[in-house]
Amino acid sequence: MTASLIARNLALDKYSEEISEFENLMNAKVYTVASESALLQYIPIATTKIVEYDDYIVTSELYSHTIRCLNKLETKHLEILKGKLHGSPLENSEKRIKKLNAMFLYCISDLGVWLAAKAAEILQSNKESCVSFWGEELDEKLEGFVRNYVRDVYSDLSEIILKMTKRGVQRHIGEDFAEDLQDGLLTSKVYFLIKSLMGYRHMQDLRCIVFVERVITSIVLEALLSTINQMSGWSVRYMASGRNCGLQHQSRNKHVEIVDSFRSGKVHLIIATQILEEGLDVPSCNLIIRFDQAATVRSFIQSRGRARMQHSDYVLLVRRHVFQFCRGDVNALSKTQKFLKSGQIMREESQRLESTCCQPLLNTLCNEEFYGVESTGAIVTLNSSIQLINFFCSKLPSDEYFKPLPRFKIDKALGTCTLHLPMSSPVQTIYAEGKVSIIKKVVCLKACRELHAVGALTDYLLPESSVPCEDEPDIVVDKYKNGQPDYFPEQLVDNWSSFSRRGFYYCYMVSLEGCSKTTPAEIVLAVKCDMGSDFISNSFKLWGVQDYLSFTMRYVGIIHLNQEQVIAARRFQTTILSLLISNDLSEVSNYIKNLLEMPASPGAVYLLLPVVSGKIDWRSIKFSASEMPEATNMDMRHCYPCKDTGIVQTKDGTFCSCMLRNSIVCTPHNGMFYAVCGFLDLNANSLLHRSDGSFLSYKTYFKERYNLDLRCEDQALLEARKLVEVRNFLHKCNYKKEKERSGKSVVELPPELCIVVMSPMSAITLRSFTFIPSIMYRIQCMLLSMNLKMQLGPSMQQFDIPALKILEALTTKNCQEEFSQESLETLGDSFLKYITTQHFFVKYKHQHEGMLTKMKKNVISNAALCQLACSNNLVGYIRSEAFNPKTWIVPGVGYDICDRSLRKLKSKRIADSVEALIGAYLSTAGEQAAYIFLKSLGMDIEFHKMPIERVITIKAEEFINVKSLELLLDYSFNDPSLLMEALTHGSYQIAGTTPCYQRLEFLGDAVLDHIFTDYFYHQYPECTPELLTDLRSASVNNSCYAHAAVKAGLHKHVLHSSSALHKRMADYLDKFEQSFSGPSHGWEAGISLPKVLGDVVESIAGAIYIDAKHDKGVVWRSMKRILEPLVTPDTLQNDPVKELQEFCDSKGYTLEYTVTRDNGVSSVVAEVRTEGTTYKATRTGFSKLDAKKLAASSVLRDLKAADTKQYSANGISCT
């Protein structure tokens, strides 16, 4: 709708040929409407208005005088340069001054003297340098020459402006436009722009874009329009692309910020170069002005299309005499008239070509040299080679102090060109000969060929992205998105039909110990096979009881059982466990009925046999598991060989009193189960003491409460207790308060209201079976951990790692047990980064840090680790949720293991488990075990296998003080060039020196991270996972390293050629010369050191690691000297960002951060909304993280003060 089929300037009669070529290229036909009026039915089209302006009317004498002044200044400063500089620095400085002079002359002729002076003022105040660092005389000296020239231009133009005004005093621009025009302060073109804009003052919610050709025009017009009083209600911004020498560079983020403000109405007017001609969709944009004529028809049409609102205008500023001349000469159409007609001509030509077919593409490369890749068809031509080299350099590592650029050295006399690429490029110097007119293209094409040969350009002739992808979303890998299994140990899987006929069973004694109020209980676990020896030496804690309790297991041998015994035992365990878990009589009855079947489907199959005095309690098993026949009034049931003749009437018949002692009964009137302890010296007529102090008989109570009549008034009441609740005894918490709230534990029950469910059932057996779900779940998890060890294969079985350590690695924090994977995950994460970093550093010797980081990211990302875990069937072993006894598989209920539903796990949780397994093997069996574990998963990495070979060609002593640095580090380098490389910043582009430190920084970062994590893990073995993470975060960060570098004086040894970096360090040292101690590492002071200094510490660690042949101990001893004092649990300070988040979570407050960045300074607003009050703080800093900490600290302080005040007002101590 707003695009152009014609991309370049052509005669109107050539449009048909161009459209046909475009159709052939796309192998498609263009379809359009007959006229522009047809488009109006679907989209708004701006109305074109032509505004004619006169020629510049400043007197020729004044104009000539101004030009002479500028030319005189240019000559003067060029002569100064020739006396001070020579060679390449002189050539570059001359080019800059000549370029600046041409720019000032343009401003005078096209914009006016005031805007030319404004350009000089802006350039003078701009501190950004555009000089590339290539071993020339740099910094203040070179920049000073240029700045002196600009300063003199501004001074002379300011004097001329004073002379131009009639009163000899400088007045405010725009106060009198007629005088401004007559005095030459503004040109007619600028005046008519202002006049056109003033014509839209009545318009509410104006959105206007003014298109200009040059960057300097956009900058000075922004300054002018923001100054004029008549436009004070409009917010004006400029937008320009590219890095013009001496002009402020706008980042992409800045562009996005301006466009967003334009959309929201915060910005009303944008002065823009062609950067905004396409891609911007603002439905409310209602005015477009072309200050400079469009260069092409495409530019004309696309800029017009930015006006998206109904009744919008497209204003063209056209010089009056040119327009009149063209209007009178049909054969010499002006560019403006041609552009106005171009849209209709394109439509007509497209319709004329509708019936023609697309033709095969012609080979346009016959007469042009190019380089191509046969496998992909990608080519780079002579004409596109320079752009590709510039694009390649833009993808090399950079920072705020250095932007990598190519440098050309041309010898016109010899017809040669030498291309110097930045030090981080694998190919750095390329030489070529040829015609001077195309020599830069020739050398760039040759460079493209060489870069592709070494892999720096892909087969698509594009540089690999050097910027790693952002933190990935927490996803489930597509291949496994339907869910993951939840494994069950095969040792406990069988079918009851075959299990009951097996005849012999492996027995393990489960002993409960530690409770002082009861006798230790034992239960025999009978399974189909030997479960191994990993259980024997372990004691497992059970939580949630008043006293300390634990259970142990030991193998007691093989037992022989017949089928009847297995059936009875199955019935017993199913009944008691179903009662304890469900507390539902109908559900238990259904379970018991199903026990008559012996299913052939696989399920959880094993026996749990109660033990009394060291022997299996078959009496309880057989009597409790026997089915109670229908009773009559004449029935009298009792246990053998009981001689008790006391008969008790129950709801389901008469029983011997011995059958009610130590039994489980159910009371249908309230649906409750009780454990009967014995008989009380009470009956139905006894008095019941109520909580309000009143008394009534039990008979009356049951009548009033349940409408039940007690007929056996003389029958003794039963002493009973509610069944103990089955819960997750692996959950590390305290249940004492729940017990206190549970009220009266002993109840009195009339026997005639009770149904006997199980008898006999001792209190010890009943209590011990309460823990069985938690015990068996722990055993199942231990068995799975043992199975995982076997699954990993013989290569891993050589390492003796306890199954309990594997289980710890597989247990997530959500399980809420006494151990979790977090500490092991932290340790494994650091080792994984360390080993992959070392691998890629050694394998890819010519790749820069950005590419190495990307390759490492691809290997250790959550998605990659998740893929490894899924491919190796590890996910089913992960324990991701707290144990729920209600969903535990009761052995004997006929539950089919094969029918278990799949579960979904997020990729991060799976990846964390893989890292925790790495940490488990590392902490137990060492680095080799962790490495072999990774290899067994299929990770293609090598560890300390490939030597790093370096040819020493540089005398480092000529550049750095090697002896002093070795004394500081307490380490003597075998290869001092490594130390020099570790201290070389990217801006130090001196021929014959080492590469910059970024590759060593990549290596040293991982080495230090792993060393610190390993140190804290073993130094404080009892610390919580949270504390371990905090210790690591407080020690392994760039701010900590940077301040340690300054404290040790390393900043004095950094090799760089950046005046901005030097100034940043100098500013810090001037303001903060006090000691660099304290765990905050300077963030509280509100200023942060350059990241470069932290990078240097990491790169030095990398250099020592290589020089010491991968000995981490040597690195630790050396770097510890610099980084001491190390943080400890006692000196660790809370991170204010984390503490504020936790505080808000506990109170239910809403916390938000707003981050903006302007001129290299980050501003962070922390805002907390409470009930009726908002707490807000704004802080700034060079580092976004430091500013965030400062803002969070301020808000947290205010919140705590308000909290303390609230407590005090309520009379509560808040100590």
3-state helix/strand/coil string of 660-726:
HCCEEEEECCCCEEEEEEEECCCCCCCEEECCCCCEEEHHHHHHHHHCCCCCCCCCCCEEEEECCCC
Q: What is the pLDDT of residue 477?
A: 46
Classify residue 381 as left (phi > 0), alpha (psi -120 to 50) or beta: beta
User: Which band of pLDDT confidence, cut at 50, 70 and 90, is reported for residue 634?
Assistant: very low
Helices 907-925, 927-936: crossing angle, 10 deg rounding: 140
Task: Report the SS3 class of residue 291.
Answer: coil
Q: What is the pLDDT of residue 473?
A: 40
914 or 466: which leads in pLDDT: 914
> In this structure, which CATH number among 1.10.1520.10, 1.10.3470.10, 3.65.10.10, 1.10.287.610 belongs to the domain 792-889+904-936?
1.10.1520.10
Fold of 956-1123: Ribonuclease iii, N-terminal Endonuclease Domain; Chain A (1.10.1520)
User: Which band of pLDDT confidence, cut at 50, 70 and 90, is reported for residue 896?
Assistant: low
pLDDT mean across residues, the chain: 83
Which of 921, 910, 919 is CA-nearest to residue 877?
910
The domain spans of the chain are 57-186, 370-453, 490-681+716-775, 792-889+904-936, 956-1123, 1136-1209
Q: What one-character-per-residue DSSP string does 829-879 give?
A: HHHHHHHHHHHHHHH-TT--HHHHHHHHHHHHSHHHHHHHHHHTT-GGG-B
Residue 360 carries which side chain, given as an amino acid letter?
Answer: P
Q: Is the pLDDT of residue 1002 over 90?
A: yes
User: Which band of pLDDT confidence, cut at 50, 70 and 90, is reported for residue 132?
Assistant: very low
* 711-735: pLDDT as tens digits: 998 999 999 998 887 888 888 765 5
Name the least confident of 233-247, 770-784, 892-906: 892-906
Q: What is the pLDDT of residue 19?
A: 79
Q: Pairing state of beta strands 208-211 and 269-272?
A: parallel
What percent of the chain is predicted at pLDDT more than 70?
Answer: 85
Residue 142 carries which side chain, given as an amino acid letter?
Answer: L
Q: What is the pLDDT of residue 630?
A: 40
Q: What is the pLDDT of residue 466?
A: 43
* 19-53: pLDDT as tens digits: 788 878 778 888 787 777 777 777 778 888 988 88
Q: How far apart are CA 1141 and CA 1168, in angstroms?
A: 10
Name the least confident of 108-112, 221-225, 944-948, 966-970: 944-948
Q: Is the pLDDT of residue 57 over 60?
A: no
Average pLDDT over residues 537-553: 77
At 432, give phi and psi (nearest 5°). -150, 155
Q: Is the pLDDT of residue 831 over 70?
A: yes
Q: Is the pLDDT of residue 898 over 60?
A: no
Q: What is the pLDDT of residue 1102?
A: 95
- Assess whether 1098 carries a catalytic annotation: yes
User: Which band of pLDDT confidence, cut at 50, 70 and 90, is reported for residue 328?
Assistant: very low
Q: Is the pLDDT of residue 978 over 80?
A: yes
Q: What is the pLDDT of residue 823?
A: 93
User: Which band of pLDDT confidence, cut at 50, 70 and 90, is reported for residue 629?
Assistant: very low
CATH number, span 1136-1209:
3.30.160.20
User: Which band of pLDDT confidence, cut at 50, 70 and 90, is reported for residue 672?
Assistant: confident
User: Which band of pLDDT confidence, cut at 50, 70 and 90, is reported for residue 476?
Assistant: very low
Average pLDDT over residues 1144-1159: 86
Name the least confident of 67-76, 512-521, 567-576, 1106-1115: 512-521
Name the least confident of 24-38, 61-75, 295-309: 24-38
Q: What is the pLDDT of residue 1208?
A: 60
Average pLDDT over residues 814-827: 91
Average pLDDT over residues 1017-1026: 89
Name the least confident of 86-95, 306-315, 410-419, 522-531: 86-95
Q: Is the pLDDT of residue 628 over 50?
A: no
CATH architecture of structural domain 370-453: 2-Layer Sandwich (3.30)
User: Which band of pLDDT confidence, cut at 50, 70 and 90, is reported for residue 631?
Assistant: very low
Most confident stretch, 335-349, 540-554, 684-698: 684-698
Q: Is the pLDDT of residue 438 over 60?
A: yes
477 or 857: which leads in pLDDT: 857
465 or 1146: which leads in pLDDT: 1146
Q: What is the pLDDT of residue 1203?
A: 78
Average pLDDT over residues 584-588: 72
User: Do 956-1123 and 370-453 fall under one CATH topology?
Assistant: no
Q: What is the pLDDT of residue 452?
A: 93
Burial 490-512 (b: 16+ CB within 10 A, else e): ebbbbbbeebbeeeebbbbbbbb
Q: Is the pLDDT of residue 321 over 70?
A: no
Average pLDDT over residues 1061-1075: 71
Percentage helix, strand, coil, to 5, in the chain?
45, 15, 40
Of 277, 1005, 1014, 1095, the catalytic one is: 1005
Q: How far apart are CA 702 and CA 713, in angstroms?
A: 12
Tokens of 270: 């944008």
Q: Is the pLDDT of residue 186 over 70?
A: yes
461 contacts 378 by C-beta, under 8 angstroms = yes
470 or 1006: which leads in pLDDT: 1006
Most confident stretch, 78-82, 465-469, 865-869: 865-869
Q: Is the pLDDT of residue 639 over 80?
A: no
Q: How far apart are CA 959 and CA 390, in angstroms?
A: 30
Of 1098, 1107, 1135, 1186, the catalytic one is: 1098
Q: Is the pLDDT of residue 640 over 80?
A: no
Q: What is the pLDDT of residue 469?
A: 43
User: Which band of pLDDT confidence, cut at 50, 70 and 90, is reported for residue 201?
Assistant: confident
Average pLDDT over residues 816-833: 93
Average pLDDT over residues 979-983: 94
855 contacts 959 by C-beta, under 8 angstroms = no
* 377-395: pLDDT as tens digits: 899 999 899 999 999 998 8
* Polymer length in residues for the chain: 1215
Beta bridge partners of 52: 318
Q: What one-character-per-residue DSSP string does 951-1019 give?
A: -----GGGTS-HHHHHHHHT---SSHHHHHHHTB-TT---TTSPPPTHHHHHHHHHHHHHHHHHHHHHH
Which of 561, 549, 580, 573 is CA-nearest to residue 621?
573
Q: How far apart are CA 198 and CA 194, in angstroms?
A: 6
Average pLDDT over residues 839-853: 88
Q: What is the pLDDT of residue 62?
A: 72
Q: Within its chain, how far is the Cα of 418 from the centroid? A: 42
Most confident stretch, 18-32, 583-597, 1063-1077: 18-32
- Assess whether 205 carries a catalytic annotation: no
Average pLDDT over residues 840-855: 88
